């Protein structure tokens, strides 16, 4: 299982939100590229990036910070937030991003996801963010009636590289991930599932890994707070 350290970008800074609320942002640093370099130096195989402003605006907002990160590190990076048309997808991939994460458009324009996955094999992931099993879009501000598993299954034949599943009520709360729901999703589809939201300790990571079906886990606040020792986590996951 791969550990994806998260860099959430708001106004060019590294932040973490509580339950996706932009008014509840904790700033962890003003040099995202330096933070990404630290993750790479620690042995991380990937870096997970989120353009928080972009998720609300519907277009990239923290592009300068993302480009600085891509220029600084050699490990692959994936990015979500405000990527809602083919031109933006093409632009990011041409700048060296390894994978784009499509969230809102997966609900509103699934054909775009399918087209992108065909044109860029292995470089398109679907981000599914949920409250109580229902999908939320537009930076989690809009709740839909779409069920998580139904949305995931609709992309079974699309060729997407991964599904990133976030339980919004766990995100940034340091209360552990929703292992049961994440495992159920991973067993329901053949697409690799990456867990996000609430991954806050080594036991959390081990529990996710030990399901045997979860491909990765994203953690942010716990790494910055020191609750999750990055070196110990990477060593444990390699064991």
- Active-site residue set: 8, 129
- The CA distance from 1 to 234, in Å, is 10
Whole-number Cα distances in Å, 17 to 7, 119, 141, 175, 221? 11, 33, 13, 14, 9
CA atoms within 13 A on the CB side of 203: 3
The CB density around residue 239, as the number of other CB atoms within 10 Å, is: 6
- The CA distance from 184 to 34, in Å, is 36
Contact 199, 218 (CB under 8 A): yes
- The CA distance from 19 to 28, in Å, is 17
- The CA distance from 217 to 4, in Å, is 6
Whole-number Cα distances in Å, 106 to 7, 61, 114, 164, 239? 22, 20, 9, 12, 35
Contact 189, 163 (CB under 8 A): yes
């Amino acid at each position: 299982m791969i550990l994806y350290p998260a860099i959430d970008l708001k106004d060019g800074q590294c932040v973490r939100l509580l339950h996706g609320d932009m008014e509840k942002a904790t700033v962890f640093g003003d040099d995202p590229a330096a933070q990404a370099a630290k993750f790479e130096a620690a042995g991380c195989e990937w870096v997970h990036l989120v353009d928080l402003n972009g998720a609300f605006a519907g277009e990239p907002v923290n592009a300068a910070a993302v480009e600085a990160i891509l220029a600084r590190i050699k490990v692959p990076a994936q990015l979500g937030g405000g990527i809602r048309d083919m031109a933006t997808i093409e632009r990011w991939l041409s700048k060296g991003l390894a994978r784009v994460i499509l969230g809102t458009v997966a609900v509103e324009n699934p054909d775009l996801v399918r087209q992108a996955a065909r044109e860029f094999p292995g470089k398109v992931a679907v981000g599914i963010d949920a409250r109580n099993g229902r999908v939320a879009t537009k930076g989690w501000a809009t709740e839909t009636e779409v069920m998580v598993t139904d949305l995931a299954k609709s992309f079974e034949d699309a060729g997407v590289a991964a599904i990133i599943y976030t339980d919004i009520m766990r995100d940034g709360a340091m209360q552990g991930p929703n292992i049961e729901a994440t495992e159920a999703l991973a067993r329901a589809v053949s697409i690799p599932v990456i867990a996000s939201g609430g991954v806050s300790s080594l036991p959390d990571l081990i529990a996710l890994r030990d399901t045997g079906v979860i491909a990765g886990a994203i953690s942010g606040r716990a790494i910055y707070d020191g609750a999750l020792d990055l070196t110990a986590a990477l060593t444990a996951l390699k064991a």
